[in-house]
Amino acid sequence: MYRFGHGIQQDYKEAVKWYRLAADQGDAEAQCSLGEMYFAGHGVTKDYAEAERWIRQAAEHGSAKAQYNLGERYFNAANITKVSSKQIDPQEYKEAVRWYRLAAEQGYADAYLRLWYLYRYGLGVPQDYVLAHMWANIAATNADGRKKQAIAAELRNKMEKSMTADQIAKAQELAIRCTANKFIGC
């Protein structure tokens, strides 16, 4: 409530105090939120190392949001390396895939589109249009909000122009099976 000013005056320092109390007791969502506060410099001095420490701890404790955030950290690090050195660090993308997958398995919808992108372009994983289509299909039906669902459907539909009918059918079957089985074995 203090962080966002819901029903009370916004106070980042007070939010940090309460997040820290819960985070120190092992609450993964509070750990993630505390990491976000350090990342943004809200109520504390901006400190990326401290932000990553808290977010990683939350991710390891099973917070889907933290797992997604950690995936973003690796994804962005890989992109920065690629731009600055013209080289891709495949390990950064592999770590991004790992964390996005964990978040996706818990239903964190933003992770679906990141996985689409990584499989579509073969970053951190072998390029695989069937799996990319599967993730876009899952996002098209499960993403937060109609706008994200529409974007996912558009990406999926564009991919189909480069796929065979058998590939599309296999991707659709995988999407149904994976969501029905809570992503076990996907």
Give the residue extent of every domain in the chain. Answer: 1-61
Q: How confident is the model at residue 23 (pLDDT cuts 50, 70, 90)?
A: very high
CB atoms within 10 A of CB 161: 6
What integer pLDDT is reported at residue 82 of this predicted model? 62
DSSP string, 9-76: ---HHHHHHHHHHHHHTT-HHHHHHHHHHHHHTSSS---HHHHHHHHHHHHHTT-HHHHHHHHHHHHH
Q: What is the mean pLDDT of residues 76-84?
A: 74
What integer pLDDT is reported at residue 183 of this predicted model? 77
Among the residue ranges 75-84, 124-133, 166-175, the one predicted with the least confidence is 75-84
Residue type, 32: C
C-alpha span between 96 and 10 (Å, rounded): 33
C-alpha span between 54 and 64 (Å, rounded): 14
Indicate whether 78 pLDDT > 90. Answer: no
Contacts of 93 (CB under 8 A, 6+ apart): 74, 75, 78, 118, 123, 124, 125
Indicate whether 159 pLDDT > 80. Answer: yes
Tens-digit pLDDT profile for residues 61-76 = 999 999 999 999 999 8
As a whole number, the mean pLDDT across the chain is 93
Residue 122: helix, strand or coil by DSSP?
coil
Q: How confident is the model at residue 85 (pLDDT cuts 50, 70, 90)?
A: low
What is the 8-class DSSP label of residue 109? H
**What's this model's pTM, rounded to 2 decimal places?**
0.88
Domain 1-61 has CATH 2.30.30.280: no
